[in-house]
A and B are shown apart, each in its own frame.
Chain A
Amino acid sequence: MKIDPPYLKFIVFSGGGGLVIREQDIKLGIGENVIEVQNVPSSFDEDTVAVELIETEAELIEIVVKKPDKRFVEDTLSRERLASEKILSESVDLRTEIREELLSLCEGVQARRYEDSSSEFVVIVDSKKEEDTAKINISYFIGDPRVWWTPTLQIDLDESNNARMTGYILVENQTNLAFKDINLEFAEFEGVRKWQEPGEYGVQTTETAVWQSQPPNVPPPPGSPQVQRSTGMPQLRGEMLKELRRLKKIK
C-alpha cells in the first residue's frame, strides 16, 4: 500500500531543518501490511523516525528506510544541470511566452540537490483483524540547513514613548520541496550537523559545506577562510602523523 500522508505540522528550526509530523487514516488487512510512505526527502534523519499507530490494535513490526545512493543521484543531477545549461545556451531567443517557465525550470534544476531526492520509507504493520482502520502518525527530522527562519521586528515610535511593534517571520525554503498549506510552527534550535559525505546537505551552498563534504585527501577550495578550513583538518592531521611514524619505523 502506498500512502502520502499530509503534513499535520512542520516545526521549522532557526538553525536549519525541522521536525515534520504527518498523519493519515489507513485501512489494514489481516496479517502483515506493507505501507510505503511517499514523498520523504533524502534529507530526513533516519535516527529520528517515529511511527505511531492510533485507534487500532495493530502492531508496528518494523520500519525500513533506504536512502538513494548519493553517487548515482549526483550523477543524474549533474547530467540534468548540463542539459539545462545546454537548453539556455542554445536558446537563440528567450523572448517567447515560455521564457519565464523555462528559466524557472532551469533554475530549479540547477538548485536541485541530493537532499531533494525521494527516499524509501516502508512501515510494516501486523493486524489481527480482517478489516481494520488506523491512523498512522509519522514524524522525522529534516536535517536540511536550506530551510530556516529568522524573526524581524518593525517598530514605529511616536513622541509620547509609545510604539507599535510588528513582528514578522521570514521562512527561507531554498530546497526544491514545496510545502503547501501546512501548519507551521517555529522553534529556536540548532541541529547537530554531522560530517557529511559528498552530495548531502547543501553541498555547493557554502565553502564550508564544500570543504566538509569532501573526502579528507582533497584540498580545500582556494580562498576558504582558515577557520573554516580547520573543520575537517584535525582528523586528517592525526592520520598523516600516524602514517609518518609508521614509515619511520619501517626505515
Chain B
Amino acid sequence: MRASLPPLKKTRLPWFDEEVQVEIEREITVEYSVTNVQYDSFVHTTQRRYVFLLPQEREIPASQIILMTDGLPFITTSTNGNISERLPTSWLVDPTIIVEDRIMKREKGKEEVTVEDTPYPDKILETRVREDIISRKITLKNELGKDARLTVRIIESADVQMMSAEPISTKTDKPRYEWDVTLGKDAEESIQCRYQIRIEKTRQMDKPKPEEKKSRTKS
C-alpha cells in the first residue's frame, strides 16, 4: 500500500474490512488432586474465547483486538494469530456461567499400615494407605440470558481415578473426560462423578524401645 510516514508521528492505515463468522467457545477444566478432591466446595471459572472464521486465507499476526457491539467497545483482548481460516482470541474469564462443585458423599476405606526399616537403626518408616470413594457434583447455571454451549473437562490424576459419571461423558480419552453441555436460558445442569482416591501418608518415627514393648505387653 502507498502511504506517507511523517517524522515523529504515528500513522494508522486501513488494512482490510470483511464479514466473518463467529463461534464462542466456553470451557471449564477441572483437575483434581488428592487434596482438592476432598474439599467441601470448590470454585471453578468458566473460560471463554471467540473464534473468527475468516472467509479467505489471510496472515494475521499477533494483534490486539477490540470487540464491539452496537458501535461501542466492550472487550479488549488479543490473538496470537490465525491457524488457517480460524482466528481465536486469548481465553477470557466468563462470569455468565456459574459453576459450583460440591462434595456429596465420602466412603472411607480400610487403612493399611506397613512398617519399613530405615538406614538409621533407631528409626522406622510407617506408611498408611487408604482408598476412599468420593462423590462430587458439578452444577452449572446459565446467567447469560440466552442459550449457551460449553465443554466441561475433568482430568484425573494418578491418585484420583474416575469410577463413574452421570451423565456419561461425551468424549473419553483417559485421563481426560469431556462433556458437551447445552444450557438453556437460566437453566441449570449438573454432572455427578465418583472418584476413587488413594491417600498415602508416610512418616519417619522412632523405633519403639524393648522396654516400652514389654510394658505394653504387661498392661
A interface vs B, CB < 8 Å? 14, 107-108, 111, 147, 150-158, 161-184, 188
B66 to chain A, nearest CB (A): 5
Contact present for B64 and A167 (CB under 8 Å): no
Among the listed B2, B9, B22, B79, which residue makes an inter-chain contact with A157, where contact means beta carbons less than 8 Å apart? B22
Contact present for A181 and B7 (CB under 8 Å): no
Q: Please judge, given known A-B contacts A108-B7, A153-B60, A155-B67, whether A167 and B15 are in contact too, CB under 8 Å.
A: yes
Contact present for B61 and A166 (CB under 8 Å): no
B-side contacts of A173, CB under 8 Å: 5-11
Q: Is residue B13 contacting chain A, with contact meaning CB distance below 8 A?
A: yes
Among the listed A158, A164, A176, A182, which residue makes an inter-chain contact with B2, where contact means beta carbons less than 8 Å apart? A182
20 A-B pairs within 8 Å (CB atoms) are namely A111-B8, A150-B64, A151-B15, A151-B64, A152-B65, A155-B20, A155-B52, A156-B68, A161-B22, A162-B21, A163-B19, A164-B20, A166-B16, A166-B17, A173-B8, A174-B8, A175-B7, A175-B8, A178-B6, A184-B2
* CA–CA, A19 and B6, complex, Å: 18
A-side contacts of B16, CB under 8 Å: 165-167
Contact present for B20 and A163 (CB under 8 Å): yes
Among the listed B11, B23, B64, B71, which residue makes an inter-chain contact with A156, where contact means beta carbons less than 8 Å apart? B71
Contact present for B2 and A170 (CB under 8 Å): no
Q: Is residue B167 contacting chain A, with contact meaning CB distance below 8 A?
A: no
Which of chain B's residues has its CB closest to A157's CB?
B69
Q: Please judge, given known A-B contacts A164-B19, A165-B20, whether A177 and B7 are in contact too, CB under 8 Å.
A: yes
Contact present for A169 and B15 (CB under 8 Å): yes
B-side contacts of A172, CB under 8 Å: 10
Contact present for B3 and A154 (CB under 8 Å): no
* CA–CA, A78 and B56, complex, Å: 52
Q: Is residue B4 contacting chain A, with contact meaning CB distance below 8 A?
A: yes
* CA–CA, A108 and B9, complex, Å: 11
Contact present for A14 and B61 (CB under 8 Å): yes
B53 to chain A, nearest CB (A): 10
Q: Is residue B158 contacting chain A, with contact meaning CB distance below 8 A?
A: no
A-side contacts of B208, CB under 8 Å: none
* CA–CA, A150 and B61, complex, Å: 9
Which of chain B's residues has its CB closest to A158's CB?
B69
* CA–CA, A182 and B192, complex, Å: 64
Which of chain B's residues has its CB closest to A170's CB?
B12
Contact present for B4 and A179 (CB under 8 Å): yes
Q: Please judge, given known A-B contacts A155-B52, A161-B21, A162-B22, whether A179 and B15 are in contact too, CB under 8 Å.
A: no
B-side contacts of A108, CB under 8 Å: 7-8
A-side contacts of B10, CB under 8 Å: 170-173
Contact present for A181 and B2 (CB under 8 Å): yes
A-side contacts of B67, CB under 8 Å: 155, 157
A-side contacts of B11, CB under 8 Å: 170-171, 173
| In the complex, chain B residues 22-68 whose Cβ is within 8 Å of any chain A Cβ | 22-24, 50, 52, 54, 60-61, 63-68
Q: Is residue B210 contacting chain A, with contact meaning CB distance below 8 A?
A: no
B-side contacts of A183, CB under 8 Å: 1-2
* CA–CA, A166 and B14, complex, Å: 8
B-side contacts of A174, CB under 8 Å: 8
Which of chain A's residues has its CB closest to B58's CB?
A167
Contact present for B14 and A168 (CB under 8 Å): yes
B-side contacts of A179, CB under 8 Å: 4-5
Which of chain A's residues has its CB closest to B79's CB?
A153
B24 to chain A, nearest CB (A): 8
* CA–CA, A177 and B10, complex, Å: 13
Contact present for B1 and A184 (CB under 8 Å): yes
Q: Which of A151, A154, A165, A188 has the most CB of B within 10 A?
A: A165
Among the listed B3, B19, B24, B61, which residue makes an inter-chain contact with A184, where contact means beta carbons less than 8 Å apart? B3
B114 to chain A, nearest CB (A): 49
* CA–CA, A168 and B79, complex, Å: 14
* CA–CA, A248 and B196, complex, Å: 66
* CA–CA, A173 and B11, complex, Å: 8
A-side contacts of B3, CB under 8 Å: 171, 181-182, 184
B-side contacts of A181, CB under 8 Å: 2-4
Q: Is residue B166 contacting chain A, with contact meaning CB distance below 8 A?
A: no
Contact present for B61 and A169 (CB under 8 Å): no
Contact present for A153 and B63 (CB under 8 Å): yes
B106 to chain A, nearest CB (A): 44
Which of chain A's residues has its CB closest to B68's CB?
A156
